[in-house]
Amino acid sequence: MDLVVLRALVVCLSFSLSTFLANAATPNPLEFSGFARVIMGYLDDENAEYVGYDNSISIDQQSLLGFQADYRLSEEIAFTGQAVGYTDDQRSSGLEWLYLTYTPNSALQVKLGRQRIPFFNHSDSLDVGFAYPWLTLPQQVYDTAFFSTFDGVLANYQFTLNDWQISYEGYWGRFDDEIHLDSQDLDTQVIGLFGVNASVSYRNFNLRGSYGQGDIDIEQDEATQFAQLLRQFGFTNNADWLNANGLLQFYQLSANYEDLDYFLRSEVTKMTGAGGLFADIDSFYISAGYNFYPYTVYISYGKKGLHFEHLANEIPFGVSPELDLLAATYLGILDFFPDDESKGTKIGIRWDWQYNVALKAEMTFVEANNAISNDYAVRDLGGFDGHAVLYQFGLEWVF
């Protein structure tokens, strides 16, 4: 009887071992993952808004929940889909990523479909706050992105050479959706969108540079109608200025150092547009931090400048009431697009409470010029003296 039981146990163990090995050899091709963040913020000035926060406690500006599904059809081909729900009404919830990945070898990877556009150093992890030390990305740089996804193809080639890691990337496609600008949702198209970037890492150092461009077309009915009226009177130069469309160009350079104890990160960007209503934007940030697990403390400073190529009024006053009205309207539009400069210094702490959960606290000291365009992070609600402090607490979770 003991021998029968022993043989039965051997058979069961053999079956269990073979099943385990079979499952290990053929992993589940479908994988699910997700991320979430809950951020509470309060701005200590009732006369301004900063990244959507005002003089009241709010959790509906940057909180979100995202889900991602990855399906591996073969060793070379995989599908990825990602949906994100935003509490901020300036961002549309729904499908963020839906692309096919082709990986013919360990060096080359090609993606086709809707995916993140690689403008910045942290483009792939914009919504995944667990992936970076700050509670919020440095807004002076990252608030300049009017759109973060595109439909098209992206190819990445990377290799190592001794202690060097080198990566090249190129993309081509288009964007066709709404962007939020000056409290408006504007239908926008960017065609002929393409760009390249390169990244070089040596031990703890990393250097990255990128360039991108596209032809942008923003529907602005009121500006278009007024420009047509100016052309009827022969003021074509002023009419041409009332245009945000044309070639959009983007430049980026980042330098980073990171080891187990310290990090130093920096990023410089420049964006230029051919249209008069599209500002040239220069921005940068530099950030330093110290890791003493499970804590990280950091300080960051960023600056952003906006410059409009304001075209002088060519409409004469005193000739007729109609021309006086045209000239006054044009000058009013010029005043509505002032040059703008803002700065932000923030200090914060991160606590990795669990391996997949981080708690963060951050203070941002905001400085802005008296003339604020209201198109970007800082908004003047009337009487803002250019100085405010944003207090934020957040929970970051990946699963």
We report the CATH number of the domain holding residue 161 as 2.40.160.10
* pLDDT tens-digit series, residues 267-312: 999 999 888 888 899 999 999 999 999 999 999 999 999 898 888 9
Average pLDDT value for the chain: 89
16 domain residue, yes or no: no
Residue with tokens 């609600």: 381
5 domain residue, yes or no: no
Query: CA 82 → CA 2, 34, 101, 135, 308, distances in Å?
Result: 56, 9, 14, 22, 37
12 domain residue, yes or no: no
20 domain residue, yes or no: no
> And the tokens for 186?
């504007």
Which range is least confidently modeled, 122-126, 253-257, 295-299?
A: 122-126
pLDDT band at 370 (very low <50, low <70, confident <90, very high): low
Nearest to 376 by CA among 311, 308, 300, 274: 308
Which range is least confidently modeled, 13-17, 35-39, 236-240, 323-327?
A: 13-17
119 domain residue, yes or no: yes
Which range is least confidently modeled, 8-17, 174-183, 209-218?
A: 8-17
Mean pLDDT (whole number) for 98-118: 97
> How many domains is the chain partitioned into structurally?
1
pLDDT band at 373 (very low <50, low <70, confident <90, very high): low
Residues 284 and 266: their CA atoms lie apart, in Å, by 7
Residue 311 and residue 331 in contact, taking contact as beta carbons nearer than 8 Å:
no
Residue 202 and residue 191 in contact, taking contact as beta carbons nearer than 8 Å:
no
Please state the three-class secondary structure of the chain as a single string: CHHHHHHHHHHHHHHHHHHHHHHHHCCCCEEEEEEEEEEEEEECCCCEEECCECCCCECCCCCEEEEEEEEECCCCEEEEEEEEEECCCCCCCEEEEEEEEECCCCCEEEEEEEEECCCCCCHHHCCCHHHCCCCCCCHHHHCCCCCCEEEEEEEEEEEEECCEEEEEEEEEEEEEEEEEECCEEEEEEEEEEEEEEEEEEECCEEEEEEEEEEEEEECCHHHHHHHHHHHHCCCHHHHHHCCCCEEEEEEEEEEEEECCCEEEEEEEEEEEECCCCCCEEEEEEEEEEEEECCEEEEEEEEEEEEECCCCCCCCCCCCCHHHHHHHHHHHHHHHHCCCEEEEEEEEEEEEEEECCEEEEEEEEEEEECCCCCCCCCEEECCCCCCEEEEEEEEEEEEC
In which domain, by residue range, is 54 found?
29-398
How many CB atoms within 10 Å of residue 345?
A: 14
Query: CA 216 → CA 174, 278, 377, distances in Å?
Result: 10, 10, 22
355 domain residue, yes or no: yes
Residues 1 and 270: their CA atoms lie apart, in Å, by 82
Task: Supply the pTM of this predicted model.
Answer: 0.86
Please determine, for residue 249, whether its predicted confidence score (pLDDT) is greater than 80: yes
* pLDDT tens-digit series, residues 181-211: 666 678 899 999 999 999 999 999 999 999 9
Largest Cα–Cα separation, the chain: 117
Residue 171 and residue 194 in contact, taking contact as beta carbons nearer than 8 Å:
yes
Which range is least confidently modeled, 254-268, 328-342, 343-357?
A: 328-342
126 domain residue, yes or no: yes
* pLDDT tens-digit series, residues 146-195: 788 999 999 999 999 999 999 999 999 999 988 876 666 788 999 999 99
Structure-model confidence comparison of residues 378 and 26, the more confident one = 378
Residue 259: what pLDDT?
Answer: 95
Please determine, for residue 257, whether its predicted confidence score (pLDDT) is greater than 90: yes
Share of the chain above pLDDT 70, in %: 91
15 domain residue, yes or no: no
Mean pLDDT (whole number) for 88-108: 93
Residue 232's contacts (CB-CB under 8 Å, 6 or more residues apart) are none
Residue 90: what pLDDT?
Answer: 78
